[in-house]
Amino acid sequence: MAAHLSARPAAINLIRPWIENREVVTSILAYGEIVEYIEGFADFERRHGQLRRLLREVYPFFLTFAILERYADLRRQLRPPHGPGLTGDIDTLIAATAIQHALVTVDTDFERVPGLDLMLVSVRG
C-alpha cells in the first residue's frame, strides 16, 4: 500500500486490478506502519487523506483472539532451535493476519514464516 500511495507505477499496475475487484485486504497494523512512514513527509496531511481514501477500498483486518493465537504459534515456530529466527512483532502479527489468505509484500523477512502464502514483488519504478 505504501508503494501504491507513492504512485510507483509497478505497484499501481499490480494492485489496482485487485482493488477494482475487491480482492485486497490489509492488516490494521500495516496502516500504522504507513502512517509512521508518511509522517516524515512535508505533505503528510495530503498523503494521510490518500491513505484513508484507499482504506475505503481495502478492508483492514483488526486483531482478534484467533490472530493473536496464530501470532503466538508463529513466534514459537520461528524461535531457534525450531525455526530460522524471529521477525519483528509487527511483521509476525501481520503474517498471523495473512496466514489464512495471501501476503503480497516487498519484505523478504516474511519468507521465514511457515505456512504463509507469500508473493514477493519488486515495486521499483
Are the C-beta atoms of residues 55 and 31 closer than 8 Å to each other?
yes
- Name the one residue in this structure whose C-alpha cell is 521477525: 87
Domain residue ranges in the chain: 2-120
Assigned CATH topology for domain 2-120: Rossmann fold (3.40.50)
The predicted pLDDT at position 100 comes to 82
Angstrom distance (rounded) from CA 85 to CA 105: 19
The predicted pLDDT at position 85 comes to 76
pLDDT digit string (tens) for the chain, length 125 residues: 888 888 888 888 888 999 999 999 999 999 999 999 999 999 999 999 999 999 999 999 999 999 999 999 999 998 888 777 777 899 999 999 999 888 998 888 888 888 899 988 876 65
